Structure 1
């Protein structure tokens, strides 16, 4: 892959000192499976201009990476269009499937199924559910049903055509770089299923949901090595892991499917990329800044594209006191903000 990419990426001319376009693409290519990296290489080589390469990076960030990382209760709402040809046709095809949004309604039943399947235990630590039958003197904890492909990627307002279009764009990216989802005919309607869920200690659920902990295949069916990224997980959580970090999944009771290895592989790919590239820290900082100041950074350092990728447009308008036609609207601010200007802590990135 590197041999194919090197000539094109060496020819790339950075737009400024904070342009990390080539690093982003190399890192993303490294974590993908062969079929996904082949698609990425094809997309890179199809970019005739450097501007198209930068647009490709933004389409992957806002239409895949940011929504996956910042999924906690937030519905992805905006994605930069991809420059690759045929993407609009793919989006229209996906929209034509009449995908329905998922809800929290079946969660209680799914939780019961997963508890039964997993033996009332956390799949990471082996601790039993505090609230259910367990052996005397067993170590117990509070368990939660964790989605592998985030719940928010299936939750959207079907009545809002703009939101639905963005939902379709995100899933086109997912299936482009993780083609196994297309082979499985997996859609967002199937996110609420036992094969996409696992019982975890509530502390592990949080770290797993933020891609700070991933499960990597250990070479034996349904056996995994738990990988925790250095500096991202509290030591109080780390010391609860098995000594060799190996866990094996099995059906304890019932006929429910085990967590699908293909979903866990996708989750691990995203986790590895977030930490390898530093994208996780960048996204977290943007969200923290937005929450701390209650709006856009006064120095112009806030990345509006990232905020739109994880926030509702109505919330964003409220925070910046927008009204229709206001010259200080988000779109106007995006146009007026000097390109290449850094906000504190964003580092050497093209989207700073």
Structure 2
């Protein structure tokens, strides 16, 4: 899938427009950075082979809550569907981290298909930036699904309003200092789980 994302985005970060470090001939004046495949809804939610019982429980409960909350069709993300271009973005490393931690989300622009305003927790260089998602490839590659982006945005705003994101980020920072922070995206799944519980409570 990374190859598809690079082709779809014209080998540029979806938000910043930067090119990957390993692009041999970037256009003159083009900035380069580390690019990552960023799943909109965490890929680790489908990792039921994980021996970690806590991760398994969180994944199972999160899917159950998703099935009961709102009108989102969870069949869009079942099985291998979670690992497809419709649930993924090509992002520069720091933006991937912010997006995965629900500190950054896409707000749809009414009346403009596949167009968004970037919203963030706090002001950044990307805050308020308008972007239009376009397939730059000759191949038929799905654009990010608006419903999945809307789901991510809803979680981000709940976490922002409740202050949970900052609390959890602080806790994870403490864990990182003793080398306990997961590197497979499971921490993002934990944040999603918290957001869902708060949506049910509100």
User: TM-score, normalized by length of structure 2?
Assistant: 0.77
Deviation of 1:257 after TM superposition, in Å, equals: 0.1
Gaps of at least 5 residues in structure 2 are 181-186, 191-202
Deviation of 1:176 after TM superposition, in Å, equals: 1.7
Q: Show CA shifts across 1:54-88 (max 9, x none).
A: xxxxxxxxxxxxxxxxxxxxxxxxxxxxxxxxxxx
- In the alignment, structure 1 residue 199 sits paired with structure 2 residue 84: no
After the TM superposition, which segments of 4 or more aligned residues of structure 1 sit over 6 Å from their partners?
Answer: 158-163
Match of 1:155 among 47, 66, 73: 47
- SS of 2:83's equivalent in the other structure is coil
Kindly tell me: are residues 129 and 178 of structure 1, through their superposed partners in 2, closer, same or farther at Cα, counting changes over 3 Å?
A: farther
In the aligned structure 2, how far is the partner of 1:141 from the partner of 1:291?
24
Kindly tell me: are residues 115 and 163 of structure 1, through their superposed partners in 2, closer, same or farther at Cα, counting changes over 3 Å?
A: closer
Match of 1:172 among 64, 82, 92: 64
Query: 1:1-352 counterparts in 2 under 5 A?
Result: 110-132=1-23, 133-157=25-49, 167-182=59-74, 184-219=75-110, 220-230=112-122, 238-239=124-125, 241=126, 245-253=129-137, 254-290=139-175
Output the aligned Cα RMSD.
2.9
- Note if contact 1:157-1:163 (Cα within 8 Å) is conserved in structure 2: no
In the aligned structure 2, how far is the partner of 1:137 from the partner of 1:288?
35
- Note if contact 2:66-2:72 (Cα within 8 Å) is conserved in structure 1: no
Deviation larger for 169-178 or 214-223: 169-178
Deviation of 1:284 after TM superposition, in Å, equals: 2.5
Kindly tell me: are residues 188 and 275 of structure 1, through their superposed partners in 2, closer, same or farther at Cα, counting changes over 3 Å?
A: farther
User: TM-score, normalized by length of structure 1?
Assistant: 0.46
In the aligned structure 2, how far is the partner of 1:163 from the partner of 1:131?
34
- Note if contact 1:148-1:263 (Cα within 8 Å) is conserved in structure 2: yes
Deviation larger for 138-147 or 193-202: 138-147
In the aligned structure 2, how far is the partner of 1:287 from the partner of 1:270?
18
